[in-house]
Amino acid sequence: MQKPHQHRCPNRGTLSYVNRPNNDERSEAPTHARGPVLPGLLIELIAAGQWRHPGDEVVHAIMPWFKDPVDLLTGLDQIRRESRALDRLADDESTARIFRLARGGSATEPVQLPWLDVDLAILIAVNRIPGDDVAIALDYRTSNSDPQVVAGDAWSAPHRGDWRTVAPTFSAFAAALNLPGHGTIATSAPPRSAIASTPAAAGTRSPPTTTSPPG
């Protein structure tokens, strides 16, 4: 079992992308996490034992601006458990500002990058080193079946807290990782060079307006 990764920030409490097990996980469909349906390719990769970390050098080549190491969430229960942390973090106003998290369901305008709409997001990788507070997520604002992949870093300047586009689709991200045996699972993803050159999506830095304050 993965140990909790926590970081204590002065006057901000304990921050963590790691969430404790929840009995509600047992009631979720095998292909769901927090509501959204997981991409079919991700389910296949996990089932085949191919959703494994390809090495820090490969990840850095895809995300050269992302400095801190991450670990892929390699099991469905782990993905669900870690992703539930988004709800807890988003419901605390000060923490939500640090991590650029908002709920699209209660916002009066669309939640756009560099903010993450936690109602339409699932974590697929989290910080390896306690206190780094970084994560990679599926962002379903672009597609229900093959969502874009974004990454957030709470502390690194100059984009502190921003979520930035890593790949336009999960299938493109998976192909760029060059996972062992990935060639046996068909995708139509562009080559890694195309992913690495994808510019970060722009978005307002103002916090999204909500219909009611966070609970």
215 belongs to a structural domain: no
pLDDT in the model for residue 99 = 93
pLDDT in the model for residue 51 = 97
- By the 8 A CB rule, do 82 and 23 touch? no
pTM: 0.75
pLDDT in the model for residue 103 = 93
pLDDT in the model for residue 161 = 87
Domain count along the chain: 1
What is the pairing mode between strands 121-127 and 148-153? unpaired
What Cα–Cα distance (Å) separates residue 51 from each residue in 38, 43, 107, 207? 13, 9, 34, 34
211 belongs to a structural domain: no
pLDDT in the model for residue 153 = 83
Domain range for 185: 7-196
201 belongs to a structural domain: no
116 belongs to a structural domain: yes
pLDDT in the model for residue 140 = 98
Tokens of 88: 């807890």
pLDDT under 70: residue ranges of the chain: 1-30, 32, 157, 180-215
204 belongs to a structural domain: no
1 belongs to a structural domain: no
pLDDT in the model for residue 138 = 98
